[in-house]
Chain A
């Protein structure tokens, strides 16, 4: 099992819909989780971080964490074409000295 796993996509949603991006991780002791957005050819930028079970909302973005299921997700409400990008999940693996591991990313395409 990969340490951090995401569906590579592409995930295609119509404009205005909710996009749901998922990530699973292997280290049960992990405490810190991040979502980065990366436009093609650009560097990753942090959009959300989450540390506690439950939901964390920031504008149109909601991060959801379920440590028991080792699952973290990102919901994007009212998706816009400008949200089209690759979304990277990153996890701090506590049982590996706090190494930050990135998933391979999910490509999201929002169609007008």
Chain B
């Protein structure tokens, strides 16, 4: 079954304690991205990756890191989480991106990770 998986699904942590949210896809997609979703603000892109070892900042990258050492995995790292990073996080993947993105190759979203930073 084609899917994007994220772990953990729920996480409560404290300010400053490093954490990693994993993301994995089994569709051999080149493009992966991380979004955060906050009430009234919609989905905002944090980081994206066009392929292995190729990553770039999205709209709200401050306080986050990513890596893409393998095609299937794209972890999101919060080195020193703060309460303003409390949010719902989604990982997504697609075969292509940008101007080549068409409906038959849409973004597949993971189930989401609800993060609370106290």
Contact = CB atoms under 8 A, between A and B. Distances in A.
Interface of A: 8, 31-32, 34, 41-46, 48-51, 88, 92, 94, 97-100, 102-105
25 contacts: A32-B99, A32-B101, A32-B102, A32-B103, A42-B112, A43-B110, A43-B112, A44-B90, A45-B109, A46-B103, A48-B103, A50-B103, A51-B103, A88-B43, A92-B98, A92-B101, A97-B98, A98-B99, A98-B100, A100-B45, A100-B97, A100-B98, A100-B101, A102-B43, A102-B44
A102 B44 CA distance: 7
A43 B112 CA distance: 6
Contact of B43 (A42, A44, A99): A44
Given A43-B111, A92-B99, A99-B98, A34 B40 contact: no
Interface in B78-118: 90, 97-103, 106-107, 109-112
Interface of B: 35, 40-45, 90, 97-103, 106-107, 109-112
Given A32-B101, A98-B100, A99-B98, A104 B109 contact: no
B107 A105 contact: no
Nearest to A105: B42
A43 B109 contact: yes
B90 A43 contact: yes
Contacts of A105: 42
A99 B107 CA distance: 13
Given A49-B102, A88-B43, A98-B99, 18 more contacts: A32-B99, A32-B102, A34-B106, A43-B90, A43-B109, A43-B110, A43-B111, A43-B112, A48-B103, A92-B98, A92-B101, A98-B97, A98-B101, A100-B45, A102-B43, A103-B42, A104-B41, A104-B42
Contacts of B100: 98
Contacts of A100: 45, 97-98, 101, 107
A100 B45 CA distance: 9
Given A92-B101, A99-B98, A100-B101, A49 B106 contact: yes
